Copies of this chain bind each other. A is one copy, B any other.
Amino acid sequence: MSVGTAIYLDDLHVGQTFTSGEFALDAQQIIDFARQFDPQPFHLDDAAAQNTFFKGLAASGWHTAAITMRLLTSCVPIGSGVIGAGGDIQWPRPTRPNDSLHVVCKILDIQPSSSKPDRGMVTTECLTLNQHGEVCQRMVSKLMVMRRPQ
């Protein structure tokens, strides 16, 4: 599929995989996000973070989730948008300053809607990996995807 082509429910199949580019994260981005949305010592200050569960500055899980969304919008070109109804999210390890993140998103299931023939629900597994190939976030979520407009 060529880059830039909008895709629809009809173009998806189970097992299909999308891989994003890299997102470079630094300490200042971690701190800026935390000041706005998750102002706890282990997300704000490396020295203060040493004596916490994280033993050093770590990104808020919600920052990792937001970066994951940014990467998904750039690599999953669904014509009707990447629209999630919800899902299950886990953070097996923290995201750290100077991590470079990318996302691998795999289609697990496709269910055409029985009541609305113009759409379907697509279950995806999205892994957010750091530069060592370690999983920082695993998310299984349901996306609402439209069929190609007639």
Interface residues of A (CB under 8 A from B): 33, 36-42, 52-53, 60-63, 65-67, 69-70, 73, 80-91, 144, 146
Contact B81 A40 (CB under 8 A): yes
Known: A70-B37, A73-B39. A91 touches B86 (CB 8 A): yes
Pick the residue among B53, B60, B144 that contacts A69 (CB under 8 A).
B60
**Interface of A: prevailing SS:** mixed
**What's the number of copies of this chain in the assembled complex?**
2
Contact B61 A62 (CB under 8 A): no
Known: A37-B67, A66-B38, A80-B52. A89 touches B87 (CB 8 A): yes
Among residues of B, the one whose C-beta sits closest to the C-beta of A68 is B62
Contact A66 B144 (CB under 8 A): no
